[in-house]
Amino acid sequence: MAIVEHSEFAPLEDVVEPRWWHGTRPIEPGEYTLDGRDFDMSNLSYDSPLGTAMRAMYDRVGLVHVTNTGLTDLVDMRTVAKHIIDAEMDYDGGANPRDNIEPNVYEIGAPLSAWLHYHHEMAYVGRSTRVISFLAKDVLPQAADDPGAHRGASRGATFVSDSIGATDRLLSTDFGRKLRDLGVCYHRNLTDRDAFAGKTEFGVYNHWQKSFGTDDCEVAASRARDQRLAVDWGPDRLMKTRFYCSAFEYFPGLDRNVLYSSLADHGMWFDTWPLVQHLPYEERPLHMTFGDDSEISPEEIQQWIDLYDDFGMPLDWSEGDIGVICNYRWAHGRPEIHLANGEQRKLGVVLGDQYSRVGVIANRW
């Protein structure tokens, strides 16, 4: 964990930057990588040799990275992802929705200049997703010695962290047992779009109209409660939600509880987020506490960030790559990205179907 020096845009508190990984992968690339040159990429049918190999690999480790595909179209890449993602998500409110860039392919939904802490997708609502896929449309030069790279990873890499290993280590600590016993609470403040009409959106992460797909306060509140969120309204129709849940989630595939929370939903999510990073933590759109509403200490924050870093590794992208990630077994995130003139970095996102979170099951540790 590194401490970033303050700037005129930095918050009052110390800014904590993840290290992402330490140069050693928790599993070898051969366990999760398939080379498209070993398959007939003109045959993208579900029962193709590629599809069969992807599903077998995903069942073993929950992570598949298909490389050297020769594909350039997001529609074809999505077809490959669907060898594993057999049902896709329909947003029904509560998540931070992404804009479409192709049918059923979404944008990342975050500025490139912001680092995105390790997280499990949609852990902050009552219905999460089982799987997420990234489709590499436009990628950055793969120079490992580039100053924008991280310990041998290429620029623009996505990082994943082994949540199974992280769970086992965490539960051996006092902090892990505290998380197990108290759970967590996700606090979100969703702004009113109309209150910012014609204004620069300082301090805005997401308007409730976009998050819940409605302009009606009552409908938005109803959809929030359907996601098991508590709802209050503040000044200027500020929608304040809270979600109390376990920090862990039962994973049927391994018949055990796994870590399913991270500090991505803490105010530190915005440490490098334009128009928000200048705010002190108590004024930011997200906050996170233990389930008894007590604060997470700086020492516990450091321990949590370091935990995911210890089990992290990069997925280095080349054009046409497809990554499919089990949302139970792996967290994902990335460092900030700064583009040189003429560069683009675009990943499409495909989300699996939603499921209702069950929290933990006794005696499944």
Please report whether residue 1 resides in a domain: no
In this prediction, residue 95 carries a pLDDT of 65
In this prediction, residue 89 carries a pLDDT of 85
Please report whether residue 235 resides in a domain: yes
Q: How far is CA 40 from the centre of its chain?
A: 32
Please report whether residue 258 resides in a domain: yes
Residue 322 belongs to what domain range?
A: 25-356
Tokens of 216: 């009606």
* Amino acid letter, residue 159: F
Ordered mean pLDDT values, 10 residues apiece, the chain (365 residues): 40 75 97 98 97 98 98 97 92 65 78 94 95 97 62 91 98 98 97 94 93 95 95 96 98 98 94 92 93 96 97 97 98 94 94 95 96
* Amino acid letter, residue 214: T
Q: Is 348 helix (H, G, I), strand (E, B) or coil?
A: strand
**CB-based contacts of 249: which residues, under 8 Å, 6+ apart?**
120, 123, 128, 257, 258, 260, 328, 357, 358, 359, 360
How far CA 163 is from CA of 143, 261, 325, 341, 361, in Å, comes to: 28, 10, 12, 37, 17
CATH number of the domain bearing residue 74? 3.60.130.10
In this prediction, residue 303 carries a pLDDT of 97
Helix axes 163-170, 174-182, angle to 10 degrees: 100
Please report whether residue 233 resides in a domain: yes
In this prediction, residue 10 carries a pLDDT of 43
Total domains in the chain come to: 1
Please report whether residue 11 resides in a domain: no
Please report whether residue 139 resides in a domain: yes
**Beta-bridge partner residues of 334:** 116
Task: Please answer whether residues 129 and 121 qualify as being in contact, where contact means their C-beta atoms are separated by less than 8 angstroms.
Answer: yes
pTM of the model: 0.92
The dihedral through the CA atoms of 159, 107, 237, 213 has a sign that is negative
Which stretches does DSSP call E strand in 84-229?
A: 100-102, 105-106, 116-119, 127-129, 131-138, 158-162, 184-190
In this prediction, residue 1 carries a pLDDT of 39
Please report whether residue 6 resides in a domain: no
Task: State the Cα–Cα distance between residues 92 and 227, nearest whole angstrom.
Answer: 9
Please report whether residue 9 resides in a domain: no
In this prediction, residue 96 carries a pLDDT of 66
In this prediction, residue 4 carries a pLDDT of 39
- Torsion angle defined by CA atoms of residues 137, 322, 270 and 121, in that order, rounded to the nearest 10 degrees: 140
The dihedrals phi and psi of 37, each to the nearest 5 degrees, come to -70, -15
Spell out the SS3 assignment of 65-116.
EEECCCCCCHHHHHHHHCCCCCCECCCCCCCCCCCEEECCEECCCCCCCCCE
Pairing of strands 354-356, 131-138: unpaired
